[in-house]
Chains A and B, each alone.
Chain A
Amino acid sequence: MSELWDGIAQAFWLIVTLDADLVEITLRSLQVTLTALVIACLIALPLAAILSVRRFPFRRITIAVLNALMGLPPVVVGLIVYVFLSRAGPFGVLGLLFTPTAMIIAQVIIIVPLIASIAHQSLRDLWAEYHDLLISMNTTQGQRIKTLLWDSRRALLTAALAGFGRGIGEVGAIMIVGGNIDHATRVLTTAIALETGKGNFSLALGLGFVLIALAIAVNLAIHWLSHTEREGRW
């Protein structure tokens, strides 16, 4: 138990003194996961809308597979991305392995199914409501998708935040494709794994508390920026 208090004290101390290493790995965590989140949303949200609005063969199977991929084990994604990006692999010439870009690629793969599945759930319900209206207004496919995406933006925000949560706390994939290189690809989660390996439980816990605080701060910031959960509008 004493480690827990030491951890809280260490976290407090690291934040108060603005430890240079802590600031660096925290910013890298944010850079990697927020970039991955933006890219994943640009893929997943239109995909979810198309799945709700259009009817095509294998649609059900596509949705089922997408739902199943929500549970994709990060370590497997990491291995697959590693094999592709390795110098011996098909994309080896790009030299992307052990760079933040490789970590972003892995995280995009991990969070796209999650965001798309949650988004599809709410878009489908909204489509059931809007279906007759939008058809009767003789709207084009693109207009329908735009309307659905805009009118369910609050639910889509939840989907995006779920994706952020999975990305920021993920360690298995980025450890493999990033390599946990000091001052290059070390982020909060891989630093926690490293300190645990050294038996420095209090420092590892301290970094863990920083990670939790960061996740809460980002969620609050996004809610504040998008004016959700406020009186009179939601």
Chain B
Amino acid sequence: MTRFLAVCCAVLTVQTAAWAEEMKMAVTTSFHNSGLAEVLLPEIKQDTGIDVQLLVVGTGQALRLGAAGDVDAILVHAKAAEEKFVAEGSATHRTEIMYNDFVFIGPGADGAGIKAAADAAAALRLIAGSGAPFVSRGDDSGTHKKELSLWEAADVAPEGDWYNAVGAGMGAALNTASGMNAYILSDRASWLNFGNKGDLALLFAGDPVLFNQYAYLPVNPEKHPHVKADLAAQLEAWLVSDRAQVLIDGYRLEGEQLFTFNAQK
């Protein structure tokens, strides 16, 4: 029994030892895979003293964590779901921070010929028409929601043997696409950082509908009194500051700018 108590005490001290200015923020896998977090977090800690702990999940799970009050803020990219989240009273407001873009990845040989497509909808019609395998996130994430809205805009039902919903994060879905040599919609950052490209190549990008707006939503302290609302507000002030703008616009991956800062100051 004494041993048990000793273990309990040890566990509790480990917990309390880590109590500094910490807050938890749920972010999407695509944001984390970009590597931008590793640039911003140390700067945030230096400027504000806040140690931001990231929970890397899909947008669907991030919104659930926020609604349950398990995190203090979320940074996601799914406008319709975000507005619903605010309307439900789970967050006080949403602040647009920056955007990046989605790209179509596929086999280097490009059997469906989407390289020459006029726009994103045409590219999807070509993929569906050719029957080439397509991998979908299928996990209710921001990227998945975007993909579904693109299919709708292209007026094609994403069903059949060629359509593979893997129900996984961006990296795992890219691994699957690499293994199947399939087409896939990815955010540019995850693609550039991905280490298992195999035969895949970036085939189509640039259509304005592929722009991907990130927004910051602090969890509503009226609904969840325990959230660290003051820290969340400090972080928000930092994210829309000139300092953040320089870092976000200046971030390069393999020589390419990934994010464009567009917060209203």
State the A residues within 8 Å of B (CB): 31, 35, 38-39, 42, 86-89, 92-93, 95, 97-101, 104, 179-184, 194, 196-201
Q: Which 6 A-B pairs have the closest CB atoms?
A: A197-B171, A199-B196, A87-B69, A199-B195, A88-B68, A179-B55
Q: Which of B6-14, B107-115, B129-137, B149-157 contacts its partner?
A: B6-14
User: Contact between A201 and B195 (Cβ–Cβ < 8 Å)?
Assistant: yes
Q: Which residues of A contact B29 (CB under 8 A)?
A: 197
In the complex the two chains form, what is the Cα distance from A31 to B7 in whole Å?
11
User: Contact between B15 and A198 (Cβ–Cβ < 8 Å)?
Assistant: no
Q: Mark B58-73, 1 if CB is under 8 A from A, else 0.
A: 0000000001111000
Q: Which residues of B contact A98 (CB under 8 A)?
A: 24, 53, 55, 70
In the complex the two chains form, what is the Cα distance from A65 to B33 in whole Å?
42
Scan residues 27-85 of chain B and give those whose CB is less than 8 A from a CB of chain A: 29, 33, 53-57, 67-70
The number of A-B residue pairs with CB atoms under 8 Å apart is 80
Cβ 8 A contact of B194, one of A89, A100, A199? A199
Contacts A42-B3, A196-B172, A197-B170; A87 near B68 (Cβ below 8 A): yes
- Least CB distance from B62 to A in Å reads 11
State the B residues within 8 Å of A (CB): 3-4, 7, 10-11, 14-15, 18, 24, 29, 33, 53-57, 67-70, 169-172, 174-175, 178, 193-197, 224, 226
Q: 14 interchain pairs (CB within 8 A)?
A: A86-B70, A87-B224, A88-B67, A88-B69, A98-B24, A98-B55, A100-B15, A101-B14, A104-B11, A181-B54, A182-B54, A197-B169, A198-B171, A199-B174
User: Contact between B171 and A181 (Cβ–Cβ < 8 Å)?
Assistant: no
Cβ 8 A contact of A196, one of B10, B24, B54, B175? B175
Q: Which residue of B is nearest A104, CB measured?
A: B11
Contacts A97-B70, A180-B56; A39 near B7 (Cβ below 8 A): yes
Contacts A196-B171, A197-B169, A198-B195; A184 near B14 (Cβ below 8 A): no
Q: Which residues of A contact B55 (CB under 8 A)?
A: 98, 179-181
In the complex the two chains form, what is the Cα distance from A97 to B226 in whole Å?
13
User: Contact between A35 and B7 (Cβ–Cβ < 8 Å)?
Assistant: yes
With A101-B15, A180-B55 already in contact, 16 other A-B pairs whose C-beta atoms are closer than 8 Å: A38-B3, A38-B4, A39-B4, A87-B69, A88-B68, A93-B226, A95-B226, A99-B15, A104-B11, A181-B53, A181-B54, A182-B54, A184-B18, A197-B171, A198-B171, A199-B194
Q: Which residues of A contact B10 (CB under 8 A)?
A: 35
